[in-house]
Structure 1
Amino acid sequence: MPARELQEQLNTLREQLEQNPPLTEAERADLHTVMTQIEAEIALETSIPDNNLADDVNLAVERFELEHPGIAGTLRNIVQTLGNIGI
């Protein structure tokens, strides 16, 4: 089930953030915004997909890939899963 996979990836991202990587407050806020959007999509799995969500996650990947490759990798997995479920 794609929603379960998405939830697992979201949990991985939360665990990475709990390790307190050196992020600015703006970076943390951006990640929390994306995470909230993902959680809403999981909750509304059968509703109309939010195509902006994948764009937002892709932007987060670009923002974090140089300084925080682990977070960027998790975000890439989320983008892949969103694509698999048609978002």
Structure 2
Amino acid sequence: MPARELQDQLNALREQLEQNPPLSESERENLHELMQQIEDKIKLESITRDQDASLADGVNLAVERFELEHPAIAVTLRNIVQTLGNIGI
């Protein structure tokens, strides 16, 4: 089930953040906002296409932002992007 896989990936990201990687407050806040948006999507399962595209774009931007300095976080975010794509977002 893609929603379960997505939730597992969010949990992995949450665990990585709990290890307190050296992130700025704005980076940490941005990730938490993205995670909340994804969790809301899982719960509601009824977002318009524009919102879906915005969510996927936001996660893709986060991948680019964290790719060099925080590769483990970027890998988890890439997995989330892949799962979003698999469920049609």
**TM-score w.r.t. length of structure 1:** 0.95
State the number of aligned residues. Answer: 86
Tell me the equivalent position of 2:41: 41
1:53 is paired with a residue whose SS is helix
Q: Output the amino acid matched with 1:11.
A: N
Take 1:22 and 1:13, find their aligned partners in 2: how far apart are those partners?
Answer: 14
Tell me the equivalent position of 1:64: 66
Tell me the equivalent position of 1:53: 55
Take 1:6 and 1:48, find their aligned partners in 2: how far apart are those partners?
Answer: 16
The gaps in structure 2 that reach 5 residues or longer are: none
Identity of aligned residues (%): 79
Tell me the equivalent position of 1:2: 2
- Once the 2 structures are TM-superposed, how far is the Cα of residue 48 of structure 1 from its aligned partner? 3.2
- Once the 2 structures are TM-superposed, how far is the Cα of residue 69 of structure 1 from its aligned partner? 0.2
The gaps in structure 1 that reach 5 residues or longer are: none
Q: Output the amino acid matched with 1:41.
A: K
Take 1:70 and 1:60, find their aligned partners in 2: how far apart are those partners?
Answer: 12
The Cα RMSD (Å) is 0.8
Q: Output the amino acid matched with 2:18.
A: E
Q: Output the amino acid matched with 2:14.
A: R
